[in-house]
Amino acid sequence: DENRAISLRMEPYGEDRNLLIGRDVTALYRLQGVRQDFVANVSHELRTPLTVLAGYLETLLDSEEDASSEMHRILTNMHQQSERMRRIVEDLLLLSRLETTHPDEEYFESIDMAGLLGIIAHDAQLLSGPEQHEIVLEVDPQLWLVGIIRELHSALSNLVFNAVKYTPGGGKVTIRWFANGKGQPVFEVQDTGIGIEPRHIPRLTERFYRIDVGRSRARGGTGLGLAIVKHVILRHDAQLDITSQPHLGSTFRVTFPALRAERHRMASGSGPN
């Protein structure tokens, strides 16, 4: 049966021989597929009712004149919760698409990273709001990247938004984009935030893994951001390194293969070349 999946493993057998052991993992693979389809289907089904719900709540909020009333408080809360559900569903959909499609099916294009990071930095400044973080961009405008722009936009903004979310107001977030000594393009985001204890670092990219659930929720987190980041990075043959010191801050670094780098003489937005 050509549709069976077999997992092979070598084991020492006697003094100088090895035994090749095959295990039929077809059922396991099928189960995984069923689980992924299920998550994708459920997310898809939930999307429309949630959008409708959030829309109605928005209308009610707009028509509720007295901003100090109990009704206004309840509506605001319901609206926030429905937005949170919407974000979770969107992230689950994105994650299941990342898990089930092969990157070869996606469109790789030349990306003006300085431009993309400028947009992300601007959005991060909005997210920072009245807390006002200092957001600094140190980018090489001539260094472009061949990648899947939609996915990179999600992943890199997740990392930058996290830096803002987990850094108290007044803190600093630095976004870097450069080529390292080996010619590999590197994206780095460094914050002066709460930091991460070393024991948590290996588990951060697991779905729904959060160090402080209360803080994550209060900041609008879904617990899926770094799981999405991990998949996008894998699909670009890149590597994620996390370094952090509790109470001092964290650095998330993504190193891409040198062959994904492109040199463009013209800086972004400087006209035809």
221 near ligand ADP, judged by CB under 6 A: yes
x/- letters, 247..266, toward ligand ADP (CB under 6 A): ---x----------------
Identify residues 60-89 at the interface with ligand ADP (CB under 6 A).
none
Contact partners, residue 156, CB within 8 Å, separation at least 6: 116, 117, 120, 187, 189, 254
Number of helices and strands (H, E) in the chain?
A: 6, 10
Determine the 3-state secondary structure of 128 from DSSP.
helix
Residue 113 CA to residue 98 CA, distance in Å, equals: 21
CA–CA dist 130, 106 (Å, integer): 39
Determine if 190 is a binding residue for ligand ADP (CB under 6 A).
no
If one counts every other C-beta atom within 10 angstroms of the C-beta of residue 58, the result is 14
Q: By CB under 6 A, which span of 78-86, 127-135, 143-151, 191-199 interacts with ligand ADP?
A: 191-199
Check residue 166 for interaction with ligand ADP (CB under 6 A). Answer: yes
Q: Which is nearer to ligand ADP, 37 or 212 (CB)?
A: 212
Residue choice 43, 82, 192, 216 for contact with ligand ADP (CB under 6 A):
216
Is residue 154 near ligand ADP by the rule CB under 6 A?
Answer: no
Q: Find the shortest distance in angstroms from Cβ 262 to ligand ADP.
A: 29
Give the residues lining the site for ligand ADP (CB under 6 A). Answer: 158, 162-163, 166, 191, 193-194, 196, 204, 209-212, 216, 221-226, 250
